[in-house]
């Protein structure tokens, strides 16, 4: 049973379209994240939700809108797609242990290609 | 602000040889440090982590890492590399004190030659 699952795994679309990526975790974690991995493999945090509350919102165009309907789900909607949005988007979740640290569990990624 | 530097973009080692991947971090307090591995087309998997205590930590797949505060380093090592270890390796630093932001280095691609 997959701990963090993302759909779709692959997404090919035209510039200007709107698309969504969905993420679900069954680990009982309180916090979920979206990371973007570019073509050079660089990973950059985009958003994070803790108990459905937005706690991290990096410098991301407002064409990107995350939504967390409950603790187990975090979706990413992207409006007016641009060529530069092509990347692999990773969902992750974490739960702070006694140490106070967040250990991330990642999904398999969603590869978005904008033509 | 947190930052992580992995000086080597890629490294090639022979199967059976030892491996060391370098990682330097910048963080104002005691950091939470991680190594993750990403196989082609896959998500990231946690190899090991350091929070406190013994500065030499053991992880999965025979990997270990040593935290050296004086050098702000957290290098990853393996005594004998297997062909299946070929992957991208990421060092990361997490915020302490209940913070949620984990910052990743640029990654080191490991190639293993027969």
End-to-end CA distance of chain A: 34
- pLDDT averaged per 10 residues in sequence order, chain B, 114 residues: 91 97 88 93 93 92 95 97 97 77 94 95
Q: What is the pLDDT of residues A62-85, one digit of tens each?
A: 999 999 999 999 999 999 999 999
Q: What is the pLDDT of residues A7-33, one digit of tens each?
A: 999 999 999 999 999 999 999 999 999
CB contact under 8 Å between B43 and A104, yes or no, is: no
Q: What pLDDT does residue B98 have?
A: 59
Contact predicate B108/A41, CB 8 Å: no
Q: Does A89 touch chain B (CB under 8 A)?
A: no
* Residues of chain B contacting residue A44, judged by C-beta atoms under 8 Å apart: 104
Distance from CA of A39 to the nearest CA of B (A): 11
CB contact under 8 Å between B42 and A45, yes or no, is: no
Q: SS3 breakdown of chain A: % helix, strand, coil, rounded to 5?
A: 5, 55, 40
In Å, how far are A60, A77, A78 from A64, measured between CA atoms? Answer: 7, 6, 5
């Amino acid at each position: 049973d997959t701990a963090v699952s993302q759909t779709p795994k692959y997404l090919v679309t035209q510039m200007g379209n709107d698309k969504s990526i969905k993420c679900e975790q069954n680990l009982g974690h309180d916090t979920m994240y979206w990371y973007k991995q570019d073509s050079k493999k660089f990973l950059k945090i985009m958003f994070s939700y803790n108990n459905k509350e937005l706690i991290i919102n990096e410098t991301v165009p407002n064409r990107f809108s995350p939504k967390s309907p409950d603790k187990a789900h975090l979706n990413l909607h992207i409006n007016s797609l641009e060529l530069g949005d092509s990347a692999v988007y990773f969902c992750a979740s974490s739960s702070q242990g006694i140490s106070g640290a967040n250990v991330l569990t990642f999904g398999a990624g969603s590869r978005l290609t904008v033509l | 602000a947190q930052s992580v530097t992995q000086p080597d973009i890629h490294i090639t080692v022979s199967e059976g040889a030892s491996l060391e991947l370098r990682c330097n971090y910048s963080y104002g307090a005691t950091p939470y440090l991680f190594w993750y591995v990403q196989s082609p087309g896959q998500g990231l998997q946690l190899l090991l982590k350091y929070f406190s205590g013994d500065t030499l930590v053991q992880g999965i797949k025979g990997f270990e890492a040593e935290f050296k505060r004086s050098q702000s380093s957290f290098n990853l090592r393996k005594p004998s590399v297997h062909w299946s270890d070929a992957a991208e390796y990421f060092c990361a630093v997490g915020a302490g004190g209940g913070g949620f932001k984990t910052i990743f280095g640029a990654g080191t691609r490991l190639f293993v030659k027969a």
